[in-house]
Structure 1
């Protein structure tokens, strides 16, 4: 069992498999992209599998595969097969932009990987194109519809962007009200690869909630797990639920149970802090297993209490793109 220095159990790993993405969302990176890592600097599928096994042995029982866009990596399904065979791993999930997942949906279902988060920041085709700088809405919507119809546990992640997509909040809820999905609205975060600078947001989780209340005054708050990052609600008469993730306000830090490992092996114990160690070189050296375990324990033993504390300890943490952090 992994227990951090604030007596929080760490049982959830967000494992990035690539820093590359086939979209160019304007809140994530500049239109020309960022400097992606060379292939040899990325953890191989075998290394990712070995690392996952080590962490499951240490008490991780939930792994979310992230990126970049995970399905940009053509050998991803090989890793997912290995993870599905890991004894002690209770939950495997994937976060994706749903542009490339189509050919893998059947096998994901066969493997029992039924939890899929779809990043979708617009329900209007032109808004989608403007935000992502790509004309792939029909592909995304088709794959999203298929995931829902195939019985996947789908959560839609929608980042509220001032003067860009907030007009789509209500239409998104209206469209999804007939389906058992969760639509989660996130505050914008400044992990944008230098695409712009900001120190405050207008559309925080309180404003998002009031905006929803103006259209749907009859909703109830749901009971959520202590470690949940979202505050969850259900509108009367809707099959769907909606959640608010205070990703900029950071109200959820006190119960954080997450560990992040990037595609290059960086260990990030707090989204708002810098990497504390790198496992790639350790894994590629002799006696790696015990050394990896030791490095993980050391990292877990010196976590910041909150995201604000982590940010204060590291200057310019927000210069990164979310693709390089691992979602």
Structure 2
């Protein structure tokens, strides 16, 4: 989180819930069966349960997943379960209270951990997303892996990406997926490689006898691009076929210009058909004056 916080977008620039539900129905007709709601913190947006309830009523949408930081999630858990949400990703980069405050600039560690344990008790499939940052939280790798031995939780370690609002020079990465795995193996020699699901972005593993599992996402190395089947829609209506592109087109603009569902479907099809072969190609296509430097809090985690 930038120290000065983030600048909120005027409401009229955002896709409305009705526009988002219309787009979700169009995506569902084209074969999309899973929707992930992310942020920033998506539960801060007013009336989001109206949207989630609407998603649950769309034919073809089989899974509604949520990524959250856990600070306000607790009060919504019953409603989330009611509307069919069964999988929640918790953004949690450390199990240390002081480091949590340094990273998030919020004194909410106890609130987040209380929410975490309640989600497990309620039966949600819980995944922890941890971005490994050199000199900041690399000492949390082992404690987080230990968590998977005791609890039915999946921990995913994510290579640090340049989406921090500042940008970093190419080659900055200290903790790549190989080093993260090596660090884990130095403490836990008995690790089982799991079968990675189709289109998985993570290499998945399990400690011998562990209740949960852990995975490593090569987000900066971009080794999974060939099987990626995701499409991203920002709150302002920008369609991204790769996290590293600068946006393919703005779907909000054509919607508000009166496009039919069929015309919107065609625009989506053309965007997906022209997708870069990997994140490196997508990054190269960005305009010279628009390098990879935006904050993940504005793209969606």
Partner residue, 2:50 = 78
Contact kept in structure 2, 1:34 and 1:193, CA below 8 Å: no
Distance apart, 1:238 and its partner CA: 1.1
Q: Distance in 1 between matches of 2:300 and 2:261?
A: 23
Q: Secondary structure at the match of 1:319?
A: coil
- Out of 144, 159, 171, the position equivalent to 1:172 is 144
Q: Distance in 2 between matches of 1:277 and 1:222?
A: 37
Partner residue, 2:168 = 197
Q: Secondary structure at the match of 1:318?
A: coil
Partner residue, 1:50 = 22
Compared with structure 1, are the counterparts of its residues 287 and 310 closer, same or farther at alpha carbon in structure 2 (3 Å cutoff)?
Answer: closer
Q: In the TM superposition, what whole-angstrom CA distance separates every residue of 1:230-279 from its partner, at most 9, and x where no partner exists?
A: 00000012101000000000000001101001000000011111111101
Distance apart, 1:34 and its partner CA: 3.5
* 2:3 paired with 1:31: yes
- Out of 305, 315, 320, the position equivalent to 2:294 is 320
Partner residue, 2:262 = 290
Q: Distance in 1 between matches of 2:118 and 2:246?
A: 38
Contact kept in structure 2, 1:233 and 1:241, CA below 8 Å: yes
Equivalent positions of 1:1-327 (< 5 A) are 24=1, 30-194=2-166, 197-199=168-170, 200-314=172-286, 315=288, 316-327=290-301
Unaligned runs of at least 5 residues, structure 2? none
Distance apart, 1:323 and its partner CA: 2.0
| Structure with more relative contact order (C-alpha pairs < 8 Å, separation 6 or more) | 1
Distance apart, 1:162 and its partner CA: 0.4
**What TM-score do you get using the length of structure 2 for normalisation?**
0.96
Q: Distance in 2 between matches of 1:268 and 1:288?
A: 21
Contact kept in structure 1, 2:148 and 2:214, CA below 8 Å: no
**What TM-score do you get using the length of structure 1 for normalisation?**
0.88
Unaligned runs of at least 5 residues, structure 1? 1-23, 25-29
Q: Distance in 1 between matches of 2:298 and 2:143?
A: 31
Give the CA RMSD over aligned residues.
Answer: 1.2
